[in-house]
Amino acid sequence: MEVFYPSCNFARVSPQAAKRVRQEMKGVMDVFGCCLREKRELGEGDVGIYMCQSCREHVKGGSTESLWEWALRQDDFEWPSYEGLRVVVQDCWRDREHPEVHEAVREVLRRMGVAWAEPEDARERSTFCGTRHVEPRTPRQRELMAGHPDFYVRKLPEEVQAELMAERVRELEEAATSAWGKRDGDGGGDGAASGGDGASARPLILTSCNACTQGLQLGGGNVVHLGELVAGTYAPTLAPVS
């Protein structure tokens, strides 16, 4: 039996997409409630389908599979088209030992026509999970986190958290610029996407983790969660391709 964990955190970060995903999954399998509150144990052979790293960590019994892997196995899954969209991928630190998630995220992007770049600390080298975990990579990050060796950013003052997140946004935007160049007058590469929300023409950062999403938004990033793309609720403004 397959069951779906819809992610309370995703519903808070992306309510429209979460509602659509939940409705679609209800049509094909049982949908559980909050993984922390229900604490239902899966039986032998059961598979918990998740889109949140916290849900994965709290599933008891059975096995787990990301929503991205599950969707790729469905012959009749209807992939939205985002042809021309370009993103820089932020892999979550909590997924560093899950190469199956790294591969699934990128294959899902390919199915939707999305081009992607990635920073040096991608995949199993990830050092970032929003305000849950940051391993300092730049001199400024090391300065801000001096005296906090456990990397748990939420213990720091809010203004320090915001600056740390902004430093990460800068790193990701530099990775996008390195991959695609920079157009005159904005921060995006040729064919880069604008969120149309004041983050115009800045490189679009792709996450598959709610904590990463919230952290990068705190840092002023132009961010979209993969679930929003899969649900077809993201409406980008595409810059013209030269």
Burial 17-51 (b: 16+ CB within 10 A, else e): bbebbbeebeeeeebbeebeeeebebeeebbbbbb
State pLDDT tens for residues 91-125.
999 999 999 999 999 999 999 999 999 999 999 99
Average pLDDT over residues 4-32: 92
241/35: higher pLDDT: 35
240/42: higher pLDDT: 42
pLDDT for position 240: 38
State pLDDT tens for residues 132-141.
999 988 898 8
The rounded distance, in Å, linking the Cα atoms of 130 and 229 is 20
Residue 54 CB neighbour total at 10 angstroms: 18
The rounded distance, in Å, linking the Cα atoms of 9 and 15 is 9
Average pLDDT over residues 171-191: 69
The rounded distance, in Å, linking the Cα atoms of 20 and 80 is 13
Average pLDDT over residues 165-170: 96
Q: Is the pTM of this model over 0.75?
A: yes
How far does CA 177 lie from the centroid of its chain?
A: 19
pLDDT band at 237 (very low <50, low <70, confident <90, very high): low
pLDDT for position 66: 97
- Answer whether residue 55 shows pLDDT above 80: yes
